[in-house]
Structure 1
Amino acid sequence: MRSIQSRLLLAASVVLALFLGLGAIALDRAFRDSLESALETQLMGQVYALLGAAETDNQGRMRLPKTLPDPRLVSPDSGLYVQVKGEQGNYQWHSPSSIARQLPPQTPVPSGQQQFDYLSDDESFYQLNYSLLWEDDTGREIAYLFTVSESAESVQKRIAVFRRTILLWLGGAAFILLILQGVVLRWGMKPLRTVEDDLQMIETGMQEQLQGDYPKELRRLTQGINSLIKHNSASRDRYRHSLGDLAHSLKTPLAVLQGTAEGQDAQQLREAIAEQIPRMNEIIQYQLKAAAVAGRVVFAQATPVRPIIDRLVETLDKVYHDKLITCRCDVDAEQLFTGEPGDLLECLGNLLENAYKYGRSQVHIYLDETRSMNSIIQGRCLCIEDDGPGIPQAIRVRVLRRGERADQRTPGQGIGLSVASGIVHLYGGKLEIGDSPLGGALISIQM
């Protein structure tokens, strides 16, 4: 049985059956005890009635009258019978109703006490034995034993009627409760069915995540599922983007190798291969572990900024040697970057490549303390500017999105600025686009 609703319904039905069964047994026992207690009182009342109607003989001894207070004592086989024994067995009296009947034997009890029993033999009886002392005219105390017997048939009939009534009412109540229980369970399980329906809609692509208004007991589960869906979606996008980022990052070293190969200088080609192959390995290793990058790390290593810039400028000078770009770098050799070196290389590589691609003849790299913020490049803002056409104000936000490009005429994938912006944001920083005094674009990095 794999259905939670079926399990709960079965468990609740078993508990309900046990509860109602025990309740029926308790009610039956209480009703029987009540009847027997009332019957004991009635039988004792018969004894008092007989004593009240008793007469005395000429010696003052007790004698029961011929006219009895209860008509059932006169009617044969009426179900009510009385036996009296006294005077050490010399006096024995039987009610007329006990004629031709074999009654249960009397049970002696101490004087002034009573004993009530249920006797089951060929015929079931309730029997009350009561012993008393009667003083005759001489002052002598004579013991008498009253035994009142009543057939258990009437009590058993009343118990049977009560049991049928109890079974009818409790059975009806159990049936109604089972129906209500099923309705309540179905209503209580509705959020789980809603989760199931939403998951089916996600599987069919009709929605992207769980959107129902779930109760608090399911909220952590649904939030966890949504987080897992988002994580999987982000991982899928990250892997897809990583392929584009890898291709984009390898474009520059490949261009260097291609340009050197076209020059037909074997020595320069060997030098280019020796220089660019390690860089390509670094790029590949960086992209492979990019999924694990979480941004700013408290105890991250400090990386010098200037050597990375010099390496990138040297490579780009080879790629864009036809443009005769003059790159001026005003970054001190002591400036450090607190983070992964691969992140800094990837970020600056994309920004400098754009500067070389769109710049006409000048690229300037410097640290601007006037634009600084609480950053990990020693509290300064790194700026890269060129003398190209610049980026219009209207599209500066858009070009930071992946796949968006400012110049559709120039070959490209629209990845560089988005990759750089993403790395900067991972470190809690900000990348801004402005106007350069050289006439082109100014890219400022605050992180």
Structure 2
Amino acid sequence: MPEPEIRPPPAGRRRRPFSLRNRGILAATLVLFAALALVGLALYEANYRVAVSSLQARMESYMYLVLAAMDVDASGRLSLAEEDLADPRLNQPGSGMYLQVEGRDQAWQSPSLLGVDLPELSQIEAGQSRFAEPGDSQGFFLYQYGIGWQLEDGSIEPFAVSVLVDAAEIRGQTRAFRQGLWRYLGAAAVILLLAQLAILYLVFRPLNRVSGDVARVESGLAERLEGEYPLELEPLARNVNRLLDTEQANQARIRNALDSLAHSLKTPLAVIQAGLPLHGGSAADSMQNAVHEMQRLIATRLERAGSSARRTLAEPAPVLPQLQRIIASLDKVYSHRLITAEVTIDSELNFYGEER
């Protein structure tokens, strides 16, 4: 049974890597948006903290208004002069601003609490204060302060003053700030992105010029990298020019050596070939064939050596004149056959190699 033939898997299409320009643009864009996002989050958090701090200060001022307006009689009954509370929202049900004074067995609430379900508030010691954000008080900012009211008989009646503000007030303030913040940061991102693109264009412009000059050398339109380059690219241009000079020098040296070798070998062979008929003999024909074979081998080896010494970056040779020259030579050799040759070729076609 024949063994199955094992074939290597077909080579996949090689993915073209990103250019330096695309990498720079991608990296700059990612860094820019990441930095602006972090700045936006930091500014939003700072604005939120400022708004909460300002709210806490206002809630403390409401607490002092309550302390100034409240009174406790000799029996410990709580009363509060509502006309001393200057904020009209305290008299508007569901306004978002709420007050409560709670004792052992009595409590006072502002009219704004009508129809509002308050969360269960914990007790607080006299002289202590507590501020809680909505996560701890079910949708309300809470500020509590504990007091102890001394009665005429010397006993202490504890009370807890609670100021509550709906979290929607802060959310509204921060929402407006957030919308404006992201709008301005988006405009800044567009401006900075355009500026970065312009900077990257200016930075990579010398590289593009070097690439174009190298392409001109490869196509044979130029022999060296000419012009002034930035300091960082001057060593590259200098080394490339040295490489080109070295290649030209090596090519000239090899060509001269091959010409000398061809002359040294062909001259003795020509002498031998000319002297063979004079000697005659039965070995003349075989020696003549050997000389022809040696001439053919020398020509072949010199041609291979010459092709290996050709310049990599050579001036392009037009194909049409060479083809016309070959056809003209063939017409002269085979003129008796009356052969007509027509050439259909692009006149701009070039061969990137040495003209022989």
Q: One fold, TM greater than 0.5?
A: yes
Aligned to 2:58: 42
Q: Is it true that 1:64 corresponds to 2:80 in the alignment?
A: yes
For 1:206, the aligned partner's letter is L
How many Å separate the matches in 1 of 2:185 and 2:227? 40
List runs of 5+ in structure 2 lacking aligned partners: 1-16, 280-304, 306-356
Aligned to 1:83: 100
List runs of 5+ in structure 1 lacking aligned partners: 265-287, 289-447
* Structure-to-structure mapping, 1:157-176, within 5 angstroms: 157-176=172-191
Q: Does structure 1 retain, via aligned residues, the 8 Å contact 2:90–2:99?
A: yes
For 1:22, the aligned partner's letter is L
How many Å separate the matches in 1 of 2:183 and 2:232? 39
Q: Aligned to 1:216, which of 231, 244, 248?
A: 231
Q: Tell me: CA distance 1:103–1:32, structure 2 relative to 1, closer, same or farther (3 Å).
A: same
Larger Rg belongs to: 1
Q: Aligned to 2:161, which of 146, 152, 164?
A: 146
Q: Tell me: CA distance 1:60–1:110, structure 2 relative to 1, closer, same or farther (3 Å).
A: closer
Aligned to 2:221: 206
How many Å separate the matches in 2 of 1:170 and 1:199? 43
CA deviations 1:317-341 (Å, max 9, x no partner) are xxxxxxxxxxxxxxxxxxxxxxxxx
1:106 match: secondary structure: coil
Higher normalized helix content (fraction of residues): 2
Q: Tell me: CA distance 1:122–1:84, structure 2 relative to 1, closer, same or farther (3 Å).
A: closer
Shift of 1:249: 5.2
How many Å separate the matches in 1 of 2:123 and 2:242? 86
Higher normalized strand content (fraction of residues): 1
Q: Does structure 2 retain, via aligned residues, the 8 Å contact 1:106–1:129?
A: no
Shift of 1:70: 2.7
TM superposition score normalised by structure 1 = 0.54
Aligned to 2:345: none
Q: Tell me: CA distance 1:132–1:58, structure 2 relative to 1, closer, same or farther (3 Å).
A: closer
Aligned to 2:119: 104
Q: Is it true that 1:74 corresponds to 2:91 in the alignment?
A: yes
Q: Aligned to 1:31, which of 35, 47, 58?
A: 47
Q: Does structure 1 retain, via aligned residues, the 8 Å contact 2:148–2:157?
A: yes
1:67 match: secondary structure: helix
CA deviations 1:164-214 (Å, max 9, x no partner) are 111111101111111111111111111110011101221333321112322
Q: Does structure 1 retain, via aligned residues, the 8 Å contact 2:119–2:138?
A: no
Q: Does structure 1 retain, via aligned residues, the 8 Å contact 2:69–2:82?
A: no
For 1:80, the aligned partner's letter is M
TM superposition score normalised by structure 2 = 0.67
For 1:38, the aligned partner's letter is S
Aligned to 1:353: none
Q: Does structure 2 retain, via aligned residues, the 8 Å contact 1:61–1:134?
A: no
Taking only the aligned residue pairs, the percentage that are identical comes to 34
Q: Tell me: CA distance 1:48–1:76, structure 2 relative to 1, closer, same or farther (3 Å).
A: same
Aligned to 2:311: none
CA deviations 1:352-379 (Å, max 9, x no partner) are xxxxxxxxxxxxxxxxxxxxxxxxxxxx
